[in-house]
């Protein structure tokens, strides 16, 4: 079970009744059983349907489904046609299937080298192998001029944990060198081994911009990032998409540097990276000025385009004004730049996330086969631009089709099980909300065991679309088949996952192959269907457990819909 956050928000003192409802406890309503009729509806989740949808949108014809491309528009049209055929209704405003949103693409011309002035001369590093850098603002050029480096440890300000890596030091105009992750050596500090949002690169860039820094260089290690350097190379090269800036503070540059290269750079100024890391593992840490400056100019090509979330609704009954949302992102990385004529540079995104899209489509079909309408409405949201920073779900959360206080729960599928049926279910977020109780009913029906995040240090909770909805208070189920395979056990499951992460994740090789097994995908989609059915029909409104970091947002959302 994942660690539960300690209470730190005064809003929890204002609504004791709601707080009591947030405590893990047996539901007060009559038991809601998954009947044979529900099981019969689940049989309409079929391998052939899932396979066909994956093969279609992960084919080369869709060009990797890059946001704003023809492949993106083809994907949207394909999804609309499938949803129409199922008899669902449009879920966006003005009776539309699409919720369009504007994308600002920033394509920084990365220099071949990046040079730093040190006490012992100029140190120069190579693009791609040593560093990756991108523009941090929506402008035609980003510049650093004799900007000094300063090491700020984890780069975190967390007053609720008595942690401040900045200690009031003025970092305006400087380049902040910081570690990935958050403090993880003490179970009572932050989330212990489980990474919190403070450990995500998105937070680190946000806090640095807020404090007026000119740039950030995040030090990459496989462990602290949760993925190898090649993922940084592919994800941060080429156009970087953003929603239009609405006055938020920005950086000049956003950078990454490999651990070996940063260690070498710091050593040139008489600093030892391992020693600095050790200093940073303390609340008493003080920022360390590094006698290194740097200049860099990045010409930036700015283009404006649009993508869209595809939204479909299945109206409910007695509680039809409340919704359960299923989410799956329909985008991937598009087409890369070939270095030879025969190089495959189409990022097909078969597992990530054609499998999730196909699974949610299959679940939507099962809902249409139910003998009775669910109490709550069900919204199927296929969101765009997830790979660019959860932009589609961020826009959905900013412009939800119903008030946040009416969104009962979310079920997110970001990658599905391709290695066969598993005895367990990996549920990122298990132990945080009463959604657990609905998921447990589904797991019991299938004779499976729910396990919390199997890689808590990688911060998966903050890396997929359910996180955007959590920020407006919506509790969620983010799950996939576990590692304890019915054929091969945990050892085989771990081995398959390691191969995918190291070889295929965010690579052109993420394609459907003859090795894929679909029985586990079907079983997992049925699990997601059963859980959603329970959430859509139970009387109790799902809630975060007391003290969770998103509880205050939930209580505020509920307060906002109270009658005046």
Residues 401 and 286 both lie in one domain: no
Distance CA 404, CA 401 (A): 9
Residues 372 and 453 both lie in one domain: yes
Residues 83 and 160 both lie in one domain: no
Residues 333 and 214 both lie in one domain: no
> What does the pLDDT read at residue 29?
53
Residues 525 and 403 both lie in one domain: yes
Q: Is 421 helix (H, G, I), strand (E, B) or coil?
A: coil
> What does the pLDDT read at residue 379?
98
Residues 168 and 271 both lie in one domain: yes
Residues 359 and 296 both lie in one domain: no
Residues 363 and 504 both lie in one domain: yes
* Domain CATH number, residue 148: 3.50.30.30
Distance CA 269, CA 172 (A): 21
CA separation (Å) from 356 to 39, 99, 130? 21, 19, 34
Out of 279, 302, 325, pick the residue that ends a domain: 302
* Angle at the Cα of 558 from the Cα atoms of 557 and 564, rounded to 5 degrees: 105
In a domain, 4, yes or no: no
Residues 442 and 498 both lie in one domain: yes
* Domain CATH number, residue 442: 3.40.630.10
> What does the pLDDT read at residue 107?
93
Which residues in the chain land under pLDDT 70? 1-30
Query: Given the structure tokens 């385009």, which residue do they identify?
Result: 305
Out of 251, 278, 302, pick the residue that ends a domain: 302
> What does the pLDDT read at residue 23?
39
* Domain count within the chain: 2
34-90 pLDDT per residue, tens:
999 999 999 999 999 999 999 999 999 999 999 999 999 999 999 999 999 999 999
Range of the domain at 19: 10-87+315-560
In a domain, 482, yes or no: yes
Q: Is 314 helix (H, G, I), strand (E, B) or coil?
A: strand
The torsion angles phi and psi of 447, rounded to 5 degrees, stand at 65, 40
Residues 210 and 332 both lie in one domain: no
Residues 380 and 461 both lie in one domain: yes
> What does the pLDDT read at residue 459?
79
Residues 481 and 383 both lie in one domain: yes
pTM summary value: 0.81
Sort strands 121-126 and 98-108 into parallel, antiparallel or unpaired: unpaired
In a domain, 409, yes or no: yes
């Amino acid at each position: 079970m994942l660690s539960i956050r300690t209470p730190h928000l005064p809003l929890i003192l204002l609504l004791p009744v709601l707080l009591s409802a947030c405590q893990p406890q047996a539901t007060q309503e009559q038991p809601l059983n998954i009947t044979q009729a529900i099981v019969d509806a689940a049989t309409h989740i079929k391998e052939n349907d899932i396979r066909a949808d994956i093969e279609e949108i992960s084919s080369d014809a869709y060009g990797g489904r890059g946001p704003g491309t023809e492949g993106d528009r083809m994907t949207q049209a394909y999804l609309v046609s499938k949803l129409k055929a199922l008899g669902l209704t449009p879920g966006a405003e003005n009776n539309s299937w699409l919720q369009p949103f504007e994308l600002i693409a920033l394509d920084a011309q990365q220099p071949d080298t990046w040079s730093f002035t040190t006490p012992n001369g100029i140190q120069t590093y190579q693009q791609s192998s040593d560093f990756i850098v991108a523009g941090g603002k929506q402008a035609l050029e980003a510049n650093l001029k004799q900007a000094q480096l300063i090491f700020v440890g984890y780069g975190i300000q967390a007053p609720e944990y008595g942690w401040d890596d900045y200690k009031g030091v003025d970092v305006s105009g400087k380049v902040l060198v910081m570690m990935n992750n958050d403090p993880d050596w003490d179970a009572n500090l932050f989330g212990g081994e489980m990474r919190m949002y403070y450990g995500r690169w998105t937070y680190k860039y946000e806090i640095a911009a807020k404090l007026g820094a000119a740039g950030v260089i995040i030090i990459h290690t496989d462990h602290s990032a949760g993925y190898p350097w090649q993922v940084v190379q592919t994800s941060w090269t080429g156009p970087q998409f953003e929603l239009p800036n609405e006055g938020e503070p920005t950086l000049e540059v956003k950078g990454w540097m490999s651990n070996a290269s940063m260690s070498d750079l710091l050593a040139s100024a008489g600093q030892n990276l391992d020693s600095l890391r050790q200093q940073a593992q303390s609340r008493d840490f003080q920022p360390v000025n590094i006698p290194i400056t740097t200049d860099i100019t990045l010409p930036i090509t700015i283009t404006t385009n649009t993508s869209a979330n595809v939204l479909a609704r299945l109206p409910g009954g007695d509680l039809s004004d409340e919704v359960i949302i299923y989410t799956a992102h329909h985008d991937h990385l598009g087409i890369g730049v070939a270095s030879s004529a025969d190089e495959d540079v189409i990022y097909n995104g078969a597992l990530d996330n054609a499998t999730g899209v196909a699974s949610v489509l299959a679940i939507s079909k099962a809902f249409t086969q139910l003998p009775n309408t669910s109490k709550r409405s069900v919204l199927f949201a296929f969101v765009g631009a997830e790979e660019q920073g959860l932009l589609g779900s961020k826009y959905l959360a900013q412009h939800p089709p119903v008030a946040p206080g009416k969104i009962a729960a979310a079920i997110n599928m970001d990658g599905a099980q391709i290695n066969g049926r598993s005895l367990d279910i990996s549920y990122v977020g298990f132990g945080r909300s009463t959604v657990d109780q609905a998921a447990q009913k589904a797991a019991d029906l299938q004779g499976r065991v729910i396990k919390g995040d199997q890689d808590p240090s990688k911060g998966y909770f903050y890396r997929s679309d359910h996180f955007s909805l959590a920020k407006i208070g919506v509790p969620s189920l983010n799950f996939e088949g576990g590692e304890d395979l019915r054929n091969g056990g945990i050892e085989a499951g771990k081995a398959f996952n390691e191969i995918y992460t190291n070889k295929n994740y965010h690579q052109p090789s993420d394609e459907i192959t003859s090795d894929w097994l679909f029985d586990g995908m079907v079983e997992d989609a049925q699990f997601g269907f059963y859980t959603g059915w329970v959430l859509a029909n139970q009387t109790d409104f799902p809630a975060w457990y007391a003290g969770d970091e998103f509880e205050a947002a939930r209580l505020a959302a509920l307060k906002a819909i109270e009658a005046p």
